Structure 1
């Protein structure tokens, strides 16, 4: 399977996704958009994953490749090919299907519970609540064609399914390396910032040790569910 992972910034990589998919026999291509890598044609892609980043999906003036990225989202869904969006990538899918992107009622930085809807639990995840790593100040509205999958206390829209696409506002793919990279490169999001859903560096590290393994296992179940028919 030809899997393309679209990386928007150097410090937000695929976490567990690369070794997970490599172990499942995927031929993995990392498209480093920040370095100018071209976006391939949808016919060459079997599975697309769009990662996070600090920019806004609405900022097409500074990131003109967002236009093509959104076209790819629509093409993947139209072709019935699996598409996973994480954080910025989730907002990319929402924007591609004309859903609004707006400031989240609460900025979320750190590990907080996500409540899953029954429809998601019935698709093999087996749990109703999972502690996930959040790192965002914007949120998406649910596209009209989509089914809402999850919410949190700080943000009513955390995940949705739209055809062959799944969008996750949070980071189930995060491993120790990716958490440390965020702590180093995105200090402005938490250092000296107060908020009900903003944790400090020590809290994020402590909760990473506590919750990361379960989050990673949940990510594996979602991936396996997406690829079951492919």
Structure 2
């Protein structure tokens, strides 16, 4: 399908500029018949690899059936699969601009909540292959890779309560960070290997070695070292002390 046809059919006109990036190449690579990544067998196996509970797996396969029934939704799904898994230089900023869950609800209703889970699961074989390669290159124990693959399970309820499902920005975080070799789960601890971008200045005393950190004016941190602010306060009202990166 042409991009214009898909956008008109699904009512996602505001995403035109973002979706036109790689659209032609994605449609050229789209399978002519059934897409195996949308089959129940594939999605259930992939969801089990990532540790998803049975309830959400049922919702995911239901959404996949809805996607398969519409040529426009299939074309959009394949475009997102292609951008994530076949375009190594695809920008994370572009991903954040993909149609929101609320926008997709105009055509998918409640199945829109699971749309981006289907997109994520469609690349599970490539995700696991990537993580296994990282394990070999960095001599990371397989148990760490296994824990990392299942890391997002603890946040499924948070995504559901806040967004109804997995929003594009969170999909980007999981794909580029969790499964990008920057982030690893070891038991109850998570390690994010990345440049520190906190709004602080750190000083070390030249004589006794004492180190102090001063926050930028207007920026405050909690006792546990996490950034404070309106977004965190909102989460605490909804989820108690639970936080989500």
Higher percent of residues as strand: 1
Instruction: Give the TM-score normalised by structure 1.
Output: 0.26
Which is higher, the Rg of structure 1 or of structure 2? 2
Higher relative contact order (CA 8 A, sep 6+): 1
Higher percent of residues as helix: 2
